[in-house]
Structure 1
Amino acid sequence: MQQRNQYKNIDDFLTDESFQKWVREGDQRNHWEEWTVENPERAKLVAEARLWVLAMRVPESPLSSSEITAALQASLIKIKSIEKETATLSVPLWNRIGWRSIAAVLVLGLALGWLYRRQAVSQDTLTYAELINRDADGLIEQTNNSNKPQLITLSDGSSVLLQPKSKLSYPKSFEGNERNVYLLGEGFFEISKNPKKPFYVFANEIVTKVVGTSFRIKAYTDQPNVEVVVRTGKVNVSSNQSLTQSSKASVQLLPNQAVRFVRDRLVFEKITDITQEKQIIKTVTAIEQISFEFSDVPVAQILKTIEEAYLVEIDYPQEKLKDCYLTTSLSDQPLPEKLKIICESLGSTTRYEMNGNRITILSTGCN
């Protein structure tokens, strides 16, 4: 008892385990309540110390030192702003020192509470590394370390235009009744249609489910949002944690619609018209703007359009195809399907070979 009679600062109480137990659990073995009311000045100090203990009562979570530091820095900024406001008052509501302590406790408590909430939710949300480690089948991982998009063709005929600083993991062949791939970064997907075998793109916090369509996903770990933008067809986007919880909640998107997953608030924001969103319009790639509808157009021009859209190089016999024209629709088709349609239209002597971003068309001419 004599020891706590010497307490002069809040720190003295915060390091006293019996005091913390009294505040958190109502433990009266050391008669803290009776001791507190014996002296008005003492009661004030105890009240402030209680606020500190209650504010810091956040369930244990593996917060990193950088997150805690950020929370403390944000708290200090808030406290300073409060000090400036209270300094203008002619009659302070509380003693100035007491007000700063209470403000610090409340702000710090809110900051730590927010960090815990974010950490708790993220524990249910699988990251790219965790997702590919959970996949039972062996996966091929493609990393784009270049400064331009990289074309990836999947075993089902689907194609992905993978942006720089991005990764895509996918199986050599799709087994079972699903087609699953995993994205870290940004990619434009054109999915081969197969209603009996839906296609899933797992991109950190979100899962995009499609049957056959084209869309772009932007899911970098160091950016505040994850975005899905639909060019053709229909997709369903949900949080990957909803799958483990058997939740049916999802956002359905149609052409020229998008959804943004806001990481700091853990919510989905649906955008019904991307033309009204300057932020999205600025990031639209060439392949999302080019039309693939052709009416009596030279084959050379069609191939040039494909080169511009996919940033690939196409070698073809120019002399043999210079008088060839096509009328065709290549919209909503993966690149391999586009090339197949062109070759079949030119005749049985025409075929193509693809090696990464280089395509070779072999032909004796059009019929």
Structure 2
Amino acid sequence: MQKRNNYTDIEDFLSDESFQLWILSKIDEQGWEEWTLENLQRAKLVEDARLLLLSMKVPNMELTSDQIHEGLKATWKKIEDKENNLRENTSFSNSFRYWLAGAAAILICFFSIRFYQKDIVAGDSVITYKELVEDNAEGLVEQTNNTEKAQIITLSDGSSVLLQPNSKLSYPKIFSGSERKVYLSGEAFFEISKNPKKPFFVYANEIVTRVVGTSFRIKAYPDQQNVEVLVRTGKVRVKSNDLIETSKSDEIELFPNEAVRFTRNDLVFNKITNITEDQILVKSIGNIEQLSFEFTDIPVDQIFKTIEQAYQVSIDYPKDKLLDCRLTTSLSDQPLPEKLKIICKSIGNDTNYEMNGSQIVITSQGCN
């Protein structure tokens, strides 16, 4: 979003989809309001763009792609004819030149909005991250990933979340009551600590994912049409959020290597039983979902490298003391803190770990 710092004309704002989403649907996932208030001159430009955008709002209509194309072509022809007449008969002022440029930008923006409203997200069924968080009575901690690499979050129950760039997660400092609830905007990979008495819920846009102990990925960006849930280990249940008026109470059960794609504009679930046949899912699978955590007589150094690659963390450990250390262990269905705990216990000799964000420090006197 740093590109908006270079916006100098109204057209820049009108062509920005996240700006359109903020003004027309009141969804401010990119922090437009806060950014606008930082600068008085900027606020004036944003207000002008807002008024122009709102003036273009029209009642919902169904337009075919051919109708839109013909309308766009006809309007461009009128603008070109007007420009040619002005060149022949009068002096072509800079102010009118600016008006024509603005008219063209508004035209493009109008049709892009029609496409957006019709094909991307149906406004009546949209549930925003802000709504979900506000609906929760607990005090929540929010972590936003504005970097270019994934960030690891450790929850109070020992669960771990690998939060992708341009994503955020809200969660309580300590889980209380009979349920564990978190709220996601964007994409994250979850590894949940087992606790059958305290199920874990992830609220993301219009869907809710319920688990007890498992690993899975959710992709739920606010400006995208689909929400996806993909299971790596264990079992999850997915259903639409009760906040949706037309919400269906039926849950979809997913097992390892299964996924579901939820289409937000028509509130439809599509279960995918073989993810290898879905090219969109195949392309989006990350290291943490592909790497194996089953180790048989493997050097500790290699195990640490696998963890670094999967979680995008850095592990500092006494290489000389663990040079000849080899382990046989299964870490497939464990959150990152539990993986580290099992490794340290297997090494023995007062081996411990400390974790500070993406930095992990292992202390040890060597292998047993």
TM norm structure 1: 0.69
CA distance in 2, matches of 1:209, 1:165: 24
CA distance in 2, matches of 1:357, 1:66: 47
- Give secondary structure in 1 for the equivalent of 2:158: coil
- Aligned-residue sequence identity (percent) comes to 62
Letter in 2 for 1:358: Q
- After superposition, the C-alpha distances for 1:233-277 in whole angstroms (9 at most, x for unaligned) are 000011112788895401110000000011232200000010111
The equivalent position to 1:77 in structure 2, one of 61, 67, 70, is: 67
Letter in 2 for 1:255: P
- Give secondary structure in 2 for the equivalent of 1:287: helix
Question: 1:170 aligns to what?
Answer: 171
**Deviation of residue 75 (structure 1)?**
8.2
Contact 1:126/1:241, CA 8 A, preserved across alignment: no
Query: Residue 66 and residue 288 in structure 1: after superposition, are their counterparts in 2 closer, same or farther (change >3 A)?
Result: farther
1:301 partnered with 2:312: no
CA distance in 2, matches of 1:364, 1:79: 72
**Deviation of residue 71 (structure 1)?**
3.9
**Structure 2: 5+ residue runs without aligned partners?**
1-53, 72-114
Query: Residue 301 and residue 65 in structure 1: after superposition, are their counterparts in 2 closer, same or farther (change >3 A)?
Result: farther
Letter in 2 for 1:135: N
Contact 2:206/2:244, CA 8 A, preserved across alignment: no
Question: 2:239 aligns to what?
Answer: 238
CA distance in 2, matches of 1:163, 1:265: 27
Say which structure, 1 or 2, has more relative contact order (CA 8 Å, 6+ apart).
2
CA distance in 1, matches of 2:176, 2:218: 24
Query: Residue 75 and residue 293 in structure 1: after superposition, are their counterparts in 2 closer, same or farther (change >3 A)?
Result: closer
- Give secondary structure in 2 for the equivalent of 1:340: helix
Contact 2:145/2:151, CA 8 A, preserved across alignment: yes
Question: 2:364 aligns to what?
Answer: 363
Contact 2:167/2:187, CA 8 A, preserved across alignment: yes
Q: Which runs of 4+ in 1 moved over 3 A?
A: 64-76, 78-81, 117-120, 242-248
**Deviation of residue 134 (structure 1)?**
1.5
**Superposed counterparts of 1:140-155, under 5 Å:** 140-155=141-156
Q: Which range is displaced more, 310-319 or 260-269?
A: 260-269
**Structure 1: 5+ residue runs without aligned partners?**
1-63, 82-110
CA distance in 1, matches of 2:55, 2:220: 25
- Give secondary structure in 2 for the equivalent of 1:126: coil
**Superposed counterparts of 1:268-287, under 5 Å:** 268-287=269-288
**Deviation of residue 126 (structure 1)?**
3.3
CA distance in 1, matches of 2:70, 2:322: 73
Question: 2:187 aligns to what?
Answer: 186
CA distance in 2, matches of 1:222, 1:243: 18
Contact 1:242/1:248, CA 8 A, preserved across alignment: no
Query: Residue 66 and residue 321 in structure 1: after superposition, are their counterparts in 2 closer, same or farther (change >3 A)?
Result: farther
- Give secondary structure in 1 for the equivalent of 2:190: strand
Question: 1:105 aligns to what?
Answer: none
Question: 1:127 aligns to what?
Answer: 128
- Give secondary structure in 1 for the equivalent of 2:198: coil
Q: Which structure has the larger Rg?
A: 1
